[in-house]
Amino acid sequence: MLADVNPNPATISLPLATADAGRALGEIAAERLGDLGAQAAARGGLWIGQRRVTPDTLALPGETLLVRLPPARGYCDAPLTLSHIVYEDEDLLVINKPPACYVGDTPWDTRGHALAVMSRLLTARDGQAPTLHLAHQLDFGTSGLLVISKHPRANAPLQAAFSRGQVVKRYLALCSGRVPATVELITGHGRSAGGRWRLYDQAEIGRMLPDGQRVKRAHTRIVLRRQYAAAALVWAIPLTGRTHQIRLHLAALGCPILGDDRYGGLMTVADVTLSHPLLHAAELTLPHPRDGQVIQLFCPPPSSFLAVASRL
C-alpha cells in the first residue's frame, strides 16, 4: 500500500521498524512509495540523517530513512551532447552548459546533472570512465562556459587560478530598466536570517553572521552593451566569485535579470514566458593548469536568450 503523500514534497520520512532490519533501503522505499520510491533510490535520493546511502544499504531498526524528492518539474537529465564541448585536452574540459540544469549533485539526484551526464558521454566515446571534477559553479538557470578538470593534477592549479583572480569571466545578461554605461558595485555578501543569499553594506564586510560565516566582499563591473526601451543587454564581469553575485547586484541596481523570479525579474517579456534567468557565461580567459598558457574561449547565448533579445 502506498503512503499518503503530498504530490511534490521535499522529503518523505520513513521510520524503520524491527521487521525492516537487514532489508535493502531501496527495496523499502519502493515498497512504501511505489514508483516514486524506486526512482528516488535509483537517482540517489536516499538518506540516513546527513548521509546519502545507496539502495543496497541494509536497514537498521530505529533509524529513519529520508527520501528526498525533486522539485515539481521532476527528474531531468542535463540536455548535453558531445557537441557542447568547447575545449578539451588531457587535463581540461570546458563545456557550454545549457540553461535549466544543475552542474553537480543535488540532494535528490546524482545522475541528471551536467557532470554526471558528460561523464557518461565520455565513457561511451572513449570506452573508459573519466575522472571529472568541477572547477567552479554555475547556477541552475545560468548557461555558458563551465570548466571541468579531467585529471587530478589539474585540480590544484585550477583552484589556485580561480582563487587568485587569474580567471576572467564575462557574462551576458538581459535585464529590466535603464543601465548606466559603466557601473561598479561593491557590497557585502552573505546569507540572511532566513538562509537566502543577500547583500550587505560595505561597512559590514567581515562581520560574523549567525550561521558562523562572515560577510564577504562582492564586486561586479556592469557594462552596457545595448539599451532597449525598458530593458538592457549588459556585460557583467564578476571580480569576486560569490553565489548569485551578478543576480543580486543587478537587482540592487534596480535592473533585475529577466526571468529571475527570485530577485524580482520579469517572467514574461515580449509575449515570451521565461523559465530561468537570462544570464549566460559567454567569455572565459584562464591559464592552462599544466603550462600556464592563456586560453581564451567564447560561446554564444542559447536560443532562449536570443529569442527574447530579438523581440526587445
Residue 275 is placed in which grid cell?
A: 523559465
Nine cell digits for residue 197: 543569499
Cβ neighbors of 95 (< 8 A, separation 6 or more) are 80, 84, 85, 86, 114, 118, 145, 146, 148
Q: Confirm whether 139 is a catalytic residue.
A: yes
The whole-angstrom separation of Cα 280 and Cα 215 is 26
Check 20, 91, 139, 260 and give the catalytic one: 139
Tell me which residues are annotated as active site: 139
